[in-house]
């Protein structure tokens, strides 16, 4: 089978041999620049021409995770690879000769990958209920902040005295497109800043804050509106890494880093925790919320084990929706995924096996 992880920049493909015990062996792998490929079928055909299995009819299936909304077996639009779209499973099967092609939203692929993570090695606990009152694990949420805000929902039928639990199905979510929530006065000021100072009037989604670019919008807001003239960093030229490094320095050695950078990240983490709390109220994921992607990892120093930052983050998550919901939110584990690199590929394999695509 072929598995793939495709974004606007890179197209990663692997040819796998799946054994009867569901283990697998990588036979060939390649990475292409998405912009340099005229179409997705063209990328597949180039991959096959370079692989040890050149006959597409010998490939039982291809399961591909791709950034963008996939519905009805097709991706109608992807901002960074417009020239590929629309991508339809049936068209890829026809143009490549592969018997079965399945397209998955990239976070849906990540969601299937989460199901096979090893608790001790590949997951880090951020928050665990002191006393587990509810043992329902039928719903889980995966969320990641990187270039944008990605998310998916895992759900399965509950077990009863007459049946065992069903298999998890991973549902696509577009939580990043939720209207940008404002939880307090400083959030409202930030929203005004986006519109009036930056001239962003054609969108109002949560990714204006919960994304890599959103984090830099937030720093510029703190540096120019909340603490003008205080930061040693130039808002016009500072890089995300420099801002994070200065915040970490100020956190660990007060007075030596940048106070505005630290203030920005404290705002960011408080906001993210409240946003997670809202999502949790919508889906009640007693099976846990799994956090991943580059911005989550880059800001992880803000919520290290035993730190005030972690205590504040968890407190906001549990208590921000009031005492009535706190008893339920306090039963939902928060975990950080520590195995992101191959997660989508692993998820594609899991999807193929679960749906009997390689029999």
pLDDT tens profile 125-154: 999 998 887 778 899 999 999 888 999 999
Average pLDDT, the chain: 93
Q: Are residues 105 and 145 in the same domain?
A: no
Domain assignment present for 84: yes
Domain assignment present for 271: yes
The span from the CA of 209 to the CA of 217, in Å, is 7
Q: How confident is the model at residue 340 (pLDDT cuts 50, 70, 90)?
A: low
Domain assignment present for 231: yes
Q: Judging by DSSP bridges, how do beta strands 2-6 and 62-66 pair with one another?
A: parallel
Q: Are residues 25 and 132 in the same domain?
A: no
Whether residue 3 is predicted with pLDDT greater than 90 in this model: the reply is yes
Q: Do residues 333 and 128 make contact, with C-beta atoms less than 8 angstroms apart?
A: yes
Partners of 152 in the beta sheet? 142, 172
Q: Are residues 133 and 167 in the same domain?
A: yes
Q: Are residues 137 and 249 in the same domain?
A: yes
What is the reported pLDDT for 111? 96
Q: Are residues 224 and 286 in the same domain?
A: yes
What is the reported pLDDT for 120? 83
Structural domain count, the chain:
2
Cα distances (angstroms) measured from residue 114 to each of 7, 135, 143, 253, 349: 19, 19, 11, 36, 12
What is the reported pLDDT for 165? 64
What is the reported pLDDT for 8? 82
Q: Are residues 89 and 142 in the same domain?
A: no
Q: Are residues 96 and 133 in the same domain?
A: no
The span from the CA of 311 to the CA of 303, in Å, is 8
Q: Are residues 232 and 248 in the same domain?
A: yes
Whether residue 163 is predicted with pLDDT greater than 70 in this model: the reply is no
Q: How confident is the model at residue 157 (pLDDT cuts 50, 70, 90)?
A: confident
Q: How confident is the model at residue 29 (pLDDT cuts 50, 70, 90)?
A: very high
Q: How confident is the model at residue 164 (pLDDT cuts 50, 70, 90)?
A: low
Domain assignment present for 93: yes
Domain assignment present for 261: yes
Closest by alpha carbon to 314, among 298, 324, 328, 329?
329
Domain that holds residue 315: 118-338
What's the average model confidence in pLDDT over 40-47?
97
Whether residue 159 is predicted with pLDDT greater than 80 in this model: the reply is no
Domain assignment present for 21: yes
Residue 29's CATH number? 3.30.420.40
Partners of 25 in the beta sheet? 17
Domain assignment present for 359: no
Residue 224's CATH number? 3.40.367.20
Q: Are residues 213 and 131 in the same domain?
A: yes
What's the average model confidence in pLDDT over 109-132?
92
pLDDT tens profile 266-293: 999 999 999 999 999 999 999 999 999 9
What is the reported pLDDT for 160? 62
Domain assignment present for 273: yes
Q: Are residues 293 and 278 in the same domain?
A: yes
Q: Are residues 141 and 261 in the same domain?
A: yes
What's the average model confidence in pLDDT over 5-24?
90
What's the average model confidence in pLDDT over 302-319?
96
Q: Are residues 145 and 285 in the same domain?
A: yes
Whether residue 225 is predicted with pLDDT greater than 90 in this model: the reply is yes
What's the average model confidence in pLDDT over 93-112?
96
């Amino acid at each position: 089978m072929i598995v793939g992880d495709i974004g606007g920049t890179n197209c990663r493909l692997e040819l796998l041999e799946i054994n009867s015990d569901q283990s697998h062996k990588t036979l060939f792998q390649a990475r292409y620049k998405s912009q340099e490929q005229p179409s997705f079928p063209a990328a597949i055909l180039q991959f096959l021409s370079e692989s040890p299995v050149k006959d597409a009819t010998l490939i039982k299936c291809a399961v591909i995770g791709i950034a963008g909304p996939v519905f009805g077996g097709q991706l109608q639009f992807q901002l960074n690879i417009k020239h590929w779209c629309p991508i339809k499973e049936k068209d890829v099967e026809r143009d490549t000769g592969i018997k079965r092609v399945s397209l998955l939203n990239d976070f849906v692929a990540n969601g299937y990958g989460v199901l096979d993570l090893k608790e001790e090695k590949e997951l880090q606990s951020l928050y665990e209920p002191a006393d587990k009152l509810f043992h329902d694990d039928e719903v889980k949420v995966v969320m990641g902040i990187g270039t944008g805000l990605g998310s998916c929902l895992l759900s399965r039928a509950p077990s009863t005295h007459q049946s065992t639990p069903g298999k998890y199905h991973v549902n696509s979510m577009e939580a990043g497109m939720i209207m940008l929530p404002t939880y307090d006065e400083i959030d409202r000021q930030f929203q005004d800043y986006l519109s009036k100072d930056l001239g962003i009037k054609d969108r109002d989604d949560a990714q204006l804050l919960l994304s890599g670019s959103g984090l830099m919008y937030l720093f510029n807001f703190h540096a120019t509106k909340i603490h003008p003239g205080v930061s040693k960093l130039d808002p016009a030229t500072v890089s995300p890494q420099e801002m994070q490094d200065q915040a970490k320095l100020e956190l660990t050695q007060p007075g030596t880093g940048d106070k505005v950078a630290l203030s920005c990240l404290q705002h960011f983490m408080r906001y993210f925790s409240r946003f997670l709390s809202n999502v949790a109220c919508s889906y009640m994921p007693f099976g846990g919320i799994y956090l991943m992607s580059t911005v989550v990892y880059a800001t992880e120093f803000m919520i290290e084990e035993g730190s005030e930052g972690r205590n504040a983050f968890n407190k906001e998550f549990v208590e921000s929706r009031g005492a009535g919901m706190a008893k339920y939110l306090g039963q939902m584990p928060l975990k950080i995924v520590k195995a992101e690199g191959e997660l989508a590929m692993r998820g594609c394999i899991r999807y193929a096996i679960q749906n009997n695509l390689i029999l």
